Amino acid sequence: FQAEDGIRDRSPSRGLGDVYKRQLSMHYKKLEARFAKINDLNHALSMLSWDDAAVMPTGGGVARAEALATLNGLIHTELSAPEIPDLIDAAADEPLDAWQSANVLEMKRSCEDAMAVPADLVMAYSKATSLCEQRWRQLRASNDFKGILPLLGEVVNLTKRRAQCLSEAKGLGQYDALLDTFEPGLRQVDIDPLFSSLLDFLPACIDSILSQQEPAIPIEGPFAEDRQANLGRLMMAQLGFDFEHGRLDVSHHPFCGGVPDDTRITTRYNENNFLESLFGVLHETGHALYEQGLPASWRAQPVGGSGGMALHESQSLFMEMQVCRSPAFIAFAAPHIRNAFGGGNESAEWSADNLLRHVRKVGRGFIRVDADEATYPMHVILRYDLEKALVAGDLDPTEIPDAWDEKMRSYLGLGTVGNDADGCMQDVHWFSGTIGYFPTYTLGALAAAQLFKSAMQAIDDLPGLISRGEFEGLVGWLLQNVHSQGRMLATGPLIEKVTGESLSAEPFKAHLVARYLD
């Protein structure tokens, strides 16, 4: 898919230091100053949101929702100021370099999105999503969908109002208008053929894998949380995470947040299964490396931000699935895992071969974030189907549990009647208003397979480097080709530039066959 802002291939960054060697127009400088201020407000918003999810006491929830709504309102006011369109038009006519021109286009996109939605709706949406997410953290544990339903209903209604505003401004369907906020230029017409191809391929592929995979020797717990945390931090550091500019914490739902200079990732711990947390950490580290690798000279400006969420998810799944579930990575990690939990025990259950069987185990399960890479797209397509229906008004929030159960039985052969905690309540996204995001997970998986194929061709003896714990070359390749590009290119053109091919399901399907069936 292609963003519709005219951005294609551009020259490499020269950075702000070079930019200011010549006189810039007053219009562009005014825009830069305004967006630097907006960046500071977004920084504060990001940190308050992280604190809300990770450490805030439950009693602080209502006040925090008010504060977040106020911050979102301030950001909206800055973006929708009446003088901005004229400034953008004037700056676009001035002699700007490639990065500045791309920056103006990103400014324009942000402002047009803001101007499409009234301020009172922005603040109401912010407050409703904050309160709903906070309540979800409490009610998921008690499997209480009815308890969360009034708040979820309000979030869905406000999301539909927001989608209508964006739809009218962009000339798009309502769901496409929401997609565009997470992945500029992405449309259902781009997604549907890719997902159809996967639905044609995956059921038989999964059956074939299940029929021939070798059972793993059980590894008995419990696995102390502090040991899991220490192992996670060790792996993060080995991959290149900068702890002077980031940290690892605990939350109800793993995520990567913060800002490039202060990147926060979270996980959750299961003392009966250390692999859940470890691979959650590795996944979020992929996100974090992307954030920490964004072009430093442009971080206060829109063009210096991360690309669309499909590209962001490609970086997490590149690291988790392509790299860290490989035999080479497990060969490297096995001694560290044994030292963390097995006291250096070299018995069969702690062998690299057995650990590899565990991390590559394919099975139809309830939980998306714990799913293997073969069944994972089915979870995403399920959510894509349902959230499209929610936005279109074809599915009422009261009907979500039954619709979820029906889709889950169809796609994965599992029923969720009476088990909403492991069904429609398992993900934070809808409760936090993040509707239109889910497709980017599987688009990211497709992109990750395509990018890793190119990395294998570009880096000599990549498996050997990984097996020795030498990740500098691989992370450097990602830095050069993806991270440092900021928003200079939309996801589709960037993937095509790096790999020589447009985004496709074929490399992902070939990867599954090679890893599990050949």
Q: For tokens 């399960």, what's the residue? A: 365
**Does residue 222 have a cis peptide bond before it, meaning omega lies within 30 degrees of 0?**
yes
- Element at 382 (helix H, strand E): helix 376-392
Question: With the C-alpha atoms ordered 17, 22, 28, 33, is the resulting torsion angle positive or negative?
Answer: positive
Distance CA 208, CA 254 (A): 31
Q: Cβ–Cβ contacts within 10 Å for residue 88, how many?
A: 18
Neighbours of 377 (CB within 10 A): 26
Strand order in the sheet with 262-267: 246-250, 262-267, 256-259
Cα separation, 52 vs 130, in Å, equals 9
Alpha carbon distance 388, 435 (integer Å):
9
Residue 284 known to be catalytic: yes
7, amino acid identity: I
Q: Under a CB-based contact definition with an 8 Å cutoff, are residues 433 and 126 in contact?
A: no
SS3 259: strand
CA distance 446 to 507: 7
CB 488 within 8 A of CB 14: no
**Strand, helix or coil for residue 240:** coil
Tally of CB atoms within 10 A around 269: 20
Residue of 32, 284, 291, 320 marked active site:
284
Distance CA 489, CA 377 (A): 26
Rounded Cα distance between 180 and 39, Å, is 21
Note whether 240 and 471 are within 8 A (CB): yes
**Distance (Å, rounded) from C-alpha 246 to C-alpha 261?**
7
Distance CA 22, CA 10 (A): 20
Catalytic center residues: 284
